[in-house]
Amino acid sequence: MAFLEVKDLTRIYGKKENQLTALDHVSFSMERGEFVAVTGASGSGKSTLLHLLGTMDDAQEGTVKLEDEDVLGMKEKQKAVFRRRRIGFVFQEYNLVPVLNVEENIQLPVRLDGKQMDKEYLGQLLKILELEDRKYHLPEELSGGQKQRVAIGRALANHPSLLLADEPTGNLDHQNGLEVMALLKQAVEQFSLTLIVVTHDPGIASMADRVITLSDGVIISDARVKHALSSDILYSDTKEQAPSTEEEV
């Protein structure tokens, strides 16, 4: 049984002559612990796919199953709990609460679930994200890279099994972008997460296990990445390097 199974996922916006098919019968599966990059031109359906997987939008057709659980068939209240407890989100715009400090922003999903975050786990996240000396700072006192690290910590707060990241390096410079991706990869390995990253950057995509390419709402390529270099070398200079892939059979 696949960890994540997507079948014939279709999302259409508008009606009749104004109709736009954002996703057209998209199907793929992922194993637990896998890191998949989703690429494609602007308007290809990348973000729509992520929103559907994260139950933030509804599909006209198709199914999404996470560990054999029908995600799209849930009622709205069930989806809200599912998102909070099973999925972590990282967005390009950070979406931090400006009046909360670093610690409070990270703990927010747990608090919204009516719980207290384990202090040892919080400390572990702050250490991994190199935010220990910034834990009482407000978002306005942080750099862009630090803000995205806080967003990653918040996404990991509830021990999710699936992490969804939409252009997580889009607002960062090259070096900060690579550091953020290194942290995401570390989180996947350390916490046994499954990661999907939407990106237009071939260097970021080259860090993944697989690259799924969308065009006009259709998967035109689903290929595994050949990691000829060690991860340490790969992180050092990937900005202009396109991923080397081999088509799955």
Convert the pLDDT of each residue in 150-159 to its tens digit: 999 999 999 9
Q: What is the pLDDT of residue 233?
A: 34
Please report, for the chain, the start and end positions of each structural domain, with discontinuous segments joined by +. 31-61+74-247
245 pLDDT band (50/70/90 cuts)?
A: low
Average pLDDT over residues 74-83: 91
Cβ-in-10-Å burial (0-12, 13-18, 19+) of 166 comes to: buried
Q: What is the pLDDT of residue 230?
A: 40
Average pLDDT over the chain, rounded to whole?
A: 88
Average pLDDT over residues 181-200: 90
Q: What is the pLDDT of residue 175?
A: 86
The DSSP bridge partners found for residue 224 are 210, 246
- If one compares 23 and 232, the residue with the highest pLDDT of the two is 23
- Segment among 19-23, 24-28, 81-85 with least mean pLDDT: 81-85
Average pLDDT over residues 57-64: 94
Closest alpha carbon to 225 in 241, 238, 248, 209 = 209
The answer to whether the CB of 15 falls within 8 A of the CB of 175 is: no
Does the pLDDT of residue 241 top 50, yes or no?
Answer: no
CATH class of 31-61+74-247: alpha beta
Q: What is the pLDDT of residue 246?
A: 52
The DSSP bridge partners found for residue 9 are 26
What predicted TM-score, i.e. pTM, was given to this entire model? 0.86
pLDDT per residue as tens digits for the range 105-128: 999 999 988 899 999 999 999 999
Does the pLDDT of residue 229 top 80, yes or no?
Answer: no
